Structure 1
Amino acid sequence: TNFTAYAAAVSRLKALRARKAKTMPEKPLVLYTYEISPFSKLVREVLTELCIPHIVRYTPRGSSKRDSLYARVGHFQVPYLEDDNTGARMFESKDIVAYIEKTYGSD
């Protein structure tokens, strides 16, 4: 529910602190997401925490953006990250967060 998502976000506010990324990408990362996806929220929080420029592409049901993602990768799943700086393309919030931390994370 919305309340549960809100409560979880509030509980993480103390942990969410801006920290400087060791490297900034030249081009913004692109994150495909579905607004209520808790997995996408984790990725957005890491991108925001590191102040990494990114574009969020919301893919609600019935949206042509969802169809576009499906056409690109052959199925629909969020979060999906594209990094044109390195050529990385990936699903799975755990893998995406690990990639962001390894590639751009703070020292």
Structure 2
Amino acid sequence: MLSDKSRQTTFNLSQQAMSYCLARFVRMPHSKVPHSQQSGHIMLSTWENLILGALALLLLFWMQPGIKAAIARSKQTPSDWPSVIVPLLMVVMFVLFLIAMV
């Protein structure tokens, strides 16, 4: 068993490791990671947002022929709603059961 002091030390080390990984992920020094005032999320600069938007559009155009073919195939097949509804109802019932247990 760990003592309270060693648990606190382990917790502090894990917090430091997570902060270091976050700073390395955004490739900025930890003290200079920009955060929005309201939500605490890391903000991207304008050019980074433009590049992400361009990549999303490129990905959409690249996958468009496959998406069209999948839609055409799905229109030709018969619908099978029970395969969707039954698992969905089971999940809803399980969540209601968990809520009722509290």
Question: Do both share a fold (TM > 0.5)?
Answer: no
> For the superposition of Structure 1 and Structure 2, which TM-score range results when normalised by the shorter chain?
under 0.3
Identify the structure with bigger relative contact order (alpha carbons < 8 Å, sequence gap 6+).
1
Q: Comparing both structures, which one devotes a greater share of its residues to strand? A: 1
Q: Comparing both structures, which one devotes a greater share of its residues to helix? A: 2
TM-score, normalised with respect to structure 1: 0.24
